[in-house]
A = this chain, B = another copy of it.
Amino acid sequence: MKKVIAVLPGDGIGKEVTQGAVEVLKAVANCFNHQFEFVYSSMGGEAIDQYGVPLPAETLTICKDSDAVLMGAVGGPKWDHVPPSVRPEKGLLQLRKALDVYANLRPISVHAPLADASPLKKEYVTDVDFVIVRELTGGLYFGTPSERREENGEQTVVDTLHYTRAEMKRIIKTAFDIALLRRKKVTSVDKANVLESSRVWREVAEEVAKEYPEVELEHMLVDAAAMELIRCPKRFDVMVTENMFGDILSDEASMITGSLGMLPSASLSVKGPSLYEPAHGSAPDIAGQGKANPIAAILSAAMLLRHSFGLKEEAAVIEKAVEQALGAGYRTADLYAEGQSVISTSKMTQEIVDAI
């Protein structure tokens, strides 16, 4: 198979962890006789420094012309005070919108050798295995008006939570499709007791559910969901929700595993390249020190192979190699516990490459 992968390392540890992912992808290409071409491009704070904007036109073209996009992380204190319209995060939002990657998938599963790393008691986290499906291109993130106003002499501000029914339908269908391949349960999260948009969301979820008689649908209010993620994370199989709720709940859920450095994500489009990135941020405090955990980026690369290229076996090989490295007791600093060997980003990458 011959494919072009756009690589956007971004800022901070983004660079180190994408390098790890690329090395792993090269190892897979070698073993399975694929040809992956990697096209690097600039994005986030780095792009601001070079081009004055977080998502240069050339970067977007490279992404659009690729078969899949692998991203690191963007942002850092250096750019915290640039105007909002050219912040690193703005580049990420523009990229999501331009690629129309409407479905953000965040698998949350607890790797057996790491069950102790969680702030939660072991009996709460063992066997946790679910996916959060977050709508990524609508809602409060993109609705207009989003502006300051004067109303009767008072200074006010509004943001707008906007959705079309069609946007709701496609993300909820994606969740049901994923549930079909899993334990066949969808938890749809909304705030239907307060928001009109959530009431429409609930209606659409009911409509979609009719097309999937084998899948069980439950509705849950977002505040209850924030509790249930801690009280009983095992109960979830596929959770689907709108953009802002998904942002909050998926970060909360990442703590169940206690190892944010392990969590990949995929942002899928209907057609055109999808976007893969670790769930963690750019961690400027440890950047460039070889301390970063490359596993989230490496598992994101596995998702890329599975979802964008249909390479299931290759994806599984990466995932097994990760388990093997962990099983052998190798840990990056973020996962350290007594009796284990702390290794660097590149050494962890090498262990995983060797296991492939």
Provide the bound-state CA to CA distance between A350 and B260, in Å. Answer: 47
Known: A146-B196, A194-B140, A227-B251. A164 touches B159 (CB 8 A): no
- Near B by CB (< 8 A), chain A positions 106-141 give 119-121, 124, 140-141
Q: Is A277 an interface residue (CB 8 A)?
A: no
Q: A165–B161 contact, CB under 8 A? A: no
Provide the bound-state CA to CA distance between A254 and B158, in Å. Answer: 29
Q: A248–B230 contact, CB under 8 A? A: no
Per-residue CB contact flags for chain A residues 137-158 toward chain B (1 = under 8 Å, else 0) read 0001101001110010011111
Partner-contacting stretch, out of A36-44, A178-186, A218-226, A303-311 = A218-226
CB closest chain-B residue, reference A224: B251
Known: A160-B160, A230-B255, A255-B231. A222 touches B248 (CB 8 A): yes
Q: A159–B260 contact, CB under 8 A? A: no
Q: B164–A155 contact, CB under 8 A? A: yes
Contacts of A119 in B (CB 8 A): 120-121, 124, 230-231
Q: Is A236 an interface residue (CB 8 A)?
A: no
Q: B164–A199 contact, CB under 8 A? A: no
Q: Is A292 an interface residue (CB 8 A)?
A: no
Q: B195–A146 contact, CB under 8 A? A: yes
Q: B252–A226 contact, CB under 8 A? A: yes
Contacts of A249 in B (CB 8 A): 226, 248
Q: Is A336 an interface residue (CB 8 A)?
A: no
Contacts of A200 in B (CB 8 A): 148, 157
CB closest chain-B residue, reference A256: B230
Q: A84–B199 contact, CB under 8 A? A: yes
A320 to chain B, nearest CB (A): 28
Known: A222-B248, A244-B191, A248-B248. A156 touches B164 (CB 8 A): yes
Known: A87-B193, A164-B155, A197-B158. A251 touches B231 (CB 8 A): no
A223 to chain B, nearest CB (A): 4
Provide the bound-state CA to CA distance between A244 and B222, in Å. Answer: 10
Apart from A119-B120, A157-B162: 6 A-B pairs, beta carbons within 8 A: A141-B194, A157-B163, A157-B197, A158-B197, A230-B252, A231-B255
- 27 CB contacts below 8 A, A to B, read A75-B193, A84-B193, A87-B193, A89-B193, A120-B121, A120-B230, A140-B194, A146-B196, A148-B196, A148-B200, A155-B166, A156-B162, A156-B164, A157-B163, A157-B200, A158-B160, A158-B197, A159-B195, A160-B161, A161-B161, A223-B247, A226-B252, A227-B254, A227-B260, A230-B230, A231-B255, A248-B248
